[in-house]
């Protein structure tokens, strides 16, 4: 079992976990098994970002058709090539942000990763913006990042990012994960969250909707009306307020996703 403190220390040997690559290795096999089991489909290929020493890769292989992993650190890449001997496992030495995903266009895939914390948002947005058939994304992130993605209306963490993600996906907190299951131990707790697609993608429509949502949150402390005045005429703003029966004093963070969609319809179609 790779997710074991003795194995991790032994295989690392002289090497140190690299902070610049966000290396915190999983050392609890029960947690790893649970993550992999929920993330995979035996009929699907799983893409793993940052396999590290292979703790998660080993379990992903148990529940997937095959695993394609992308690792930025040559030391990890060399260790994996020595230690995981399985024809269903392929590791590529590459920064995932540079990976060309077009070769996966014709198949249903799953994504699973204990994400390097320094690059969580760009990696997730690379996946959200791709036109791949990804039936589930399961990732370990810092607890506070998970809270932001899941934030309900009117909460402190609720912002344009939460709305955009919740428009595209059903976001589920799979489990909270304490610091103690990693080596070295990070400073903060983590959580595993999953994203399951909930709409048929329409990239052109989404671009307009997301820009509209972002503009509504531009000045978070100001009212919605004040934000709208920066980019809409008086007549359209009045129409928004009357169609949605909004109070003059309403702020963007008090509005639900459905209300943003309705407002955007008024802007676009006048109804
Ligand atoms: N999967 C292993 C585990 O759970 O024990 C390691 C997870 S560790 C949090 C993150 C891993 O991502 C490290 O192995 C790190 O080298 C790798 N990594 C960091 N940035 C990356 C990037 N841009 N592309 C691919 N891998 C990256």
The H or E element containing residue 46 is: strand 45-49
- Beta-strand pair 108-114/133-142: parallel
- Determine the residue of 3, 91, 116 to mutate for testing ligand 1's pocket, defined as the one with the most ligand atoms within 8 A of the Cβ atom: 116
Nearest to 228 by CA among 260, 256, 196: 260
Q: Which atom of ligand 1 is nearest to the CA of 27?
A: 5
Partner residues linked to 74 by β-bridges: none
CA of 115 to the centre of ligand 1 (A): 6
Instruction: For ligand 1, atom 17, name the residue with the nearest CA.
Output: 50
Instruction: For ligand 1, atom 22, name the residue with the nearest CA.
Output: 95
Q: Which atom of ligand 1 is nearest to the CA of 96?
A: 24
Half-sphere exposure of 214 (CA within 13 A, CB side): 9
**pLDDT value at position 258?**
97
Owner of token pair 């496992």? 89
**Are 72 and 52 a contacting pair, CB within 8 Å?**
no
CA of 246 to the centre of ligand 1 (A): 46
What is the residue-level pLDDT of the chain in tens, covering all 271 positions?
899 999 999 999 889 999 999 999 999 999 999 999 999 999 999 999 999 999 999 999 999 999 999 999 999 999 999 999 999 999 999 999 999 999 999 999 999 999 999 999 999 999 999 999 999 999 999 999 999 999 999 999 999 999 999 999 999 999 999 999 999 999 999 999 999 999 899 999 999 999 999 999 999 889 999 999 999 999 999 999 999 999 999 999 999 999 999 999 999 986 6
Give the start-end residues of each E strand in 53-168.
Answer: 66-71, 89-93, 108-114, 133-142
The H or E element containing residue 71 is: strand 66-71
Report residues whose beta carbon is within 6 angstroms of any ligand 1 atom. Answer: 21-26, 49-53, 55-56, 70-73, 76, 95-97, 114, 116, 119
Helix, strand, or coil (residue 140): strand
CA of 235 to the centre of ligand 1 (A): 51
CA of 197 to the centre of ligand 1 (A): 24
Instruction: For ligand 1, atom 11, name the residue with the nearest CA.
Output: 50
CA of 175 to the centre of ligand 1 (A): 20
CA of 41 to the centre of ligand 1 (A): 22
Distance CA 234, CA 222 (A): 17
Maximum pairwise Cα distance, the chain: 69
For 54, left (φ over 0), alpha (ψ -120 to 50), or beta?
left
Q: Where are the alpha helices (DSSP H) in 105-175?
A: 120-128, 143-150, 160-168
**Are 198 and 169 a contacting pair, CB within 8 Å?**
yes
Bond before 244 cis per omega within 30 degrees: no
CA of 124 to the centre of ligand 1 (A): 14
| 159: CB partners within 8 A, 6+ apart | 148, 151, 217, 220, 253
- Determine the residue of 11, 19, 23, 50 to mutate for testing ligand 1's pocket, defined as the one with the most ligand atoms within 8 A of the Cβ atom: 50
CA of 92 to the centre of ligand 1 (A): 12
What is this structure's pTM?
0.94
**pLDDT value at position 271?**
61
């Amino acid at each position: 079992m790779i997710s074991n403190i003795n194995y991790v220390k032994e295989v690392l040997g002289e090497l140190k976990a690299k902070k610049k690559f966000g290396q915190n290795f999983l050392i609890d096999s029960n947690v790893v098994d649970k993550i992999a089991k929920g993330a995979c489909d035996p009929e699907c290929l799983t893409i793993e970002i940052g396999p590290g020493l292979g703790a998660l890769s080993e379990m992903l292989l148990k529940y997937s058709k095959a695993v394609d992993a992308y690792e930025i650190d040559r030391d990890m890449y060399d260790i994996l090539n020595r230690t995981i001997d399985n024809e269903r496992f392929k590791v590529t030495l590459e920064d995932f942000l540079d990976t060309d995903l077009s070769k996966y266009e014709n198949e249903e895939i799953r994504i699973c990763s204990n994400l390097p914390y320094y690059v969580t948002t760009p990696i997730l947005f690379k996946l959200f913006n791709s036109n791949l058939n990804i039936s589930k994304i399961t990732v370990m992130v810092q607890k506070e990042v998970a809270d932001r993605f899941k934030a309900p209306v009117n909460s402190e963490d609720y912002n344009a990012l939460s709305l955009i993600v919740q428009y595209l996906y059903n976001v589920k907190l799979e489990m909270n994960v304490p610091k103690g299951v990693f080596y070295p131990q990070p400073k903060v707790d983590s959580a595993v969250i999953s994203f399951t697609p909930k709409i048929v993608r329409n990239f052109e429509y989404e671009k307009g909707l997301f820009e509209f949502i972002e503009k509504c949150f531009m000045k978070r402390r100001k009212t919605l009306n004040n934000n709208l005045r920066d980019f809409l005429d008086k007549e359209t703003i009045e129409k928004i307020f009357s169609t949605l029966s909004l109070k003059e004093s309403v702020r963007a963070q008090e509005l639900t996703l459905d209300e943003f969609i309705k407002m955007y319809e008024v802007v676009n179609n006048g109804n």
